Structure 1
Amino acid sequence: MKASQFKKLLTAYLKNKLNKTDKNLVQNWYDAFGESEAGVPGLGNQREEQLLRDDLLNRIQVQLNQPEKPVYRLISFRNIAASIVLVAGAGFATWFFIAKSAQEPKTAVNQFQVITTISGQMKKLILPDSSVVHLNANSRIRVPHRFSLKDRQFYLEEGEAFFEVTKDKTRPFIIHSGQLNVRVLGTSFNVRSYRRLSDIKVAVTTGKVRVSGNGLIYGTLIPGQQLTYHKANKAVQLSEVRPSDNQAWINGKVYLEKAGFEELALTMNNMYGVSLKNETVNKVKYQYNLTLRSDRSLEETMRLICAINGHHYKKSGKEILIY
């Protein structure tokens, strides 16, 4: 979003002239600072709302004076296809500024910003070193407000992220995720580390990536290689993947190959926000090879899933039962 557009949005907000949609955009932007998981405080209270306006104004003014600071945007799975169609006229997504870091003391290298996503939501972040991080649904990361002079530490505490790391030979980029550490200088790769899944996966698109953990170096990956770490027995498996598939989820496509039911259920929750259950006898043995796409309706996707093994489904609220 251009600075002029942002100023216009803020002016309308201060004059109470925003419609509900634009007011929600401001709320989502403020909530993205990580200070309130429940939403922006004070929108229902006149005095607190005025304080919120003053805080917003201060943060945006700081950001407009320092345009090189980090930014990130929100992307809805269900809006990806529509956004691509409307990109020429309205822009692909709304950008939200992390101006908070501009107000931190320069010595506060170890202070972190926590950023999360929910079902059906993705975020794109631009870090202080110009590296780009795409955060998948139901994910949580910790990013320092300022990188240190010797390295760039990043924590993927839950979920999935695709990284486009700016090259810096003097400061390696290190991602901590579960039992694995991923070290790069400048490259693009994907890390999937959900607690509910039995493995962690690292797949490389460009450059080289070194993966280690438990005091061991598991290997240096090149484009087209994927490392799978099995949590239960700490075993490591190398396989080949199509580099272009690593970030396909950013554009609303998820390729499942020999996926178990838990992986399928996680993907459905990320994409549609539903809880998938299975009452079939052999659910543990089933493996799914299919492509899930966010431009398909939930009903279309469920018919496809059930057709694989000749099952049926019924939906109650946000819960779907396969039988």
Structure 2
Amino acid sequence: MDIGKIRKYLIGLNAGTLTQEEESWIVHFLENATEAELLQIFPEEEWEEQIPVSVSTRELNRAYAKVAPMKVAWWNKPIIKISAAAAVLGIAVSIWSLSNTSFKPFNTIAETQWKTISTKAGENLIVYLPDSSKIYINGGSQLMYPEKFAGPIREVKLLEGEIFLDIAGNAQAPFKVKTGNVNIKVLGTSFNVRNYKVEGLTDIAVKSGKIAVSNSGNPDSVLLTPGRRIVISETTGNSLLTDTDLRAVDGWTQNEFVFNDMMLKDVFRHLEYKYGLTFEIKDTKILNKHIKAVFRDKSRWEIVDLLSKMLNFQYQVKDSLVIIQ
């Protein structure tokens, strides 16, 4: 961690002299910094010389807005002190308290309000974001997104499931998707993200534009362009880059499935999340068979029937349960 660089950026953030890239970097750091990292930037020994400081509501709100949205403001401590060295930085907002009362943010400071939307298997939704971006949500998914975007970064969080995103371009506010250990950054594009816990993989593919993908196991970004796909293991962080059929990227949003040499067990899983079907398999050996097919504008039962003919298996249907002999 380059403390000198961080302090320099904090001064620039306060003065409004940072470039968009620098501002995005420091805001991202402040959002994710640990308590230990913050103490390195503002060590306790620099706080020993206590100087009472009067901070107006207007000044405090302005400082907070510089780093919003943050889960917890980094200056929000039970008793906050300021040293001459910290005062020179012009960033560390501090209060001299004569009691043990903890400092609380003013009511005028608005924190980012997140919404969580969940879908059941077979339930598909479309969410329109405040910036006119559009997200298609597949069944069995859970997505978090803000009521409105604040600050220089637009962000959503895929907790589980599959989404296809059509992002409105805005060079001044990069878009970010977080899912598991993976981060995806984009300016304006359309792409698909799949991360079901049962699969143990994060699968990302681009329809248009370009995105940068990184994960905690390998922070170096991988650039994806249209027709490129990356599959990342949630446990090891290992990744595989491949080409993909553009139709397969968002096919599920348009009732089209492109199965390119896919194992039957994975085909069934796609049908489970899209249509809410469940499968009971008598002979599990059949699940290892591979399928290469495109199904367009077919009902769920038409797809199951075509699969039975392709792989020569018998099946029965009870409501949404498919029993395969």
**TM bracket (short chain):** 0.5 to 0.7
Deviation at 1:234, TM superposition (A): 2.4
Q: Which whole-Å CA distance do the structure 1 matches of 2:228 and 2:203 have between them?
A: 11
Where does 1:116-135 land on structure 2 (aligned, <5 Å)?
A: 116-135=118-137
Question: Match for residue 286 of structure 1?
Answer: 289
Displacement, 1:169?
A: 1.9
Q: Structure 1 unaligned segments of length 5 or more: list them.
A: 1-104
> Matched residues in 2 for 1:123 and 1:170: separation?
28
Q: Based on CA coordinates, which of the two structures has the bigger radius of gyration?
A: 2
User: CA shift at 1:107, angstroms?
Assistant: 4.4
TM-score by length of 2: 0.62
Q: How does 1:1-323 map to 2 (within 5 A)?
A: 107-214=109-216, 215-293=218-296, 295-298=298-301, 300-323=302-325
Contact 1:109 1:144 in 2 (8 A): no
Structure 2: gaps of 5 or more residues: 1-106
* Pair 1:260–1:199, CA change in 2 (3 A): farther
- Partners of 1:109 and 1:126 lie apart in 2 by 21
Please say if residues 153 and 174 of structure 2, whose CA atoms lie closer than 8 Å, have aligned partners that are also in contact.
Answer: yes
Note closer, same or farther for the CA distance 1:278–1:155 as it changes in structure 2 (3 Å cut): same
Q: 1:281 to 1:197 in 2, by over 3 A?
A: closer
Shift of 1:141: 0.4
Q: What is the TM-score with the length of structure 1 in the denominator?
A: 0.62
**For each residue in 1:299-321, what CA deviation from the matched residue of structure 2 results, as whole angstroms up to 9, or x when unmatched?**
x3222112232211122333212
Displacement of 1:181: 0.9
Alignment-mate amino acid for residue 319 of structure 1? L
> How many residue pairs are counted as aligned between the two chains?
218
| Inter-CA distance 160–285: structure 2 relative to 1 (3 Å threshold) | same
Distance 1:294 1:145 in 2: 34
**Could you tell me which amino acid in structure 2 is paired with residue 151 of structure 1?**
I
How many Å separate the matches in 1 of 2:294 and 2:164? 19
Opposite residue 234 of structure 1, the aligned amino acid is G
Query: Quick one: percent identity of the two aligned structures?
Result: 24
Q: Deviations over 1:19-47 (max 9, x none)?
A: xxxxxxxxxxxxxxxxxxxxxxxxxxxxx
**Displacement after TM superposition at 1:291 (Å):** 2.8
> Over aligned residues, Cα RMSD in angstroms?
2.2
Q: Secondary structure at the match of 1:302?
A: helix
Q: How far is 1:172 from its partner?
A: 1.4
- Opposite residue 149 of structure 1, the aligned amino acid is G
Superposition deviation, residue 259 in structure 1: 2.2
| Residues 138 and 274 in structure 2, CA contact (< 8 A), matched pair in contact too | no
Contact 1:125–1:133 under 8 Å retained in 2? yes
Q: Is the 8 A contact 2:174 2:186 kept in 1?
A: yes
How far residue 155 of structure 1 moved from its aligned partner, in angstroms, is 0.5
